[in-house]
Chain A
């Protein structure tokens, strides 16, 4: 059974802290791994990763994939209250997108 597991389930940090969110997967056919940020409404796309070891970066957010160990991490440096959200990881297997349960991040001023 294909599955995606995220950890931790929730996290509370202070502004300025650095956080690392984890996503591990077991799927029969890996095509890509995606990260999304979900605030009140629809998840919005952050990154797509297909190759091991290549970091994707956007401002204070960065992500990397390890296809040998079957996981990805999402780093957020110098966190701000606007980073408070649920972060979702998804794996595309070529015929479906499988989502993890998400990590709920709360950034306290």
Chain B
């Protein structure tokens, strides 16, 4: 069971570079999320997609864009990376935004130098 798969697992970027984090789920979930996790800050929501064709900002959307490519895939793009975006990024999915449980990918460790 793959669940939620995100790539890459590790990435080092230079300031100003762009990159896209990919995420796919095989659980037929309607809702998908991108979180970042920083020490002492917990999981903070960047963007979410309640259903295919919709995306909404979360708590910390600045510097990011997202695309809900289809029901399975939800990508996160950093257009011009900054050191403040050094973090661990988690993609997650749930049956719906009011769904019982949210399932996480393994995480992507991003360092911006």
Q: Which residues of A come within 8 Å of B, CB atoms?
A: 9, 31-32, 34, 41-45, 48, 88, 90, 92, 94-102
Contact = CB atoms under 8 A, between A and B. Distances in A.
A45 B106 contact: no
A88 B44 CA distance: 12
B53 interface: no
Contact of A41 (B48, B58, B106): B106
B97 to A, nearest CB: 5
A21 B90 CA distance: 24
Nearest to B90: A42
Given A88-B42, A88-B43, A96-B58, A48 B106 contact: no
Contacts of B44: 99
Given A32-B100, A96-B58, 8 more contacts: A34-B101, A42-B4, A92-B98, A96-B45, A97-B45, A99-B43, A99-B44, A102-B42
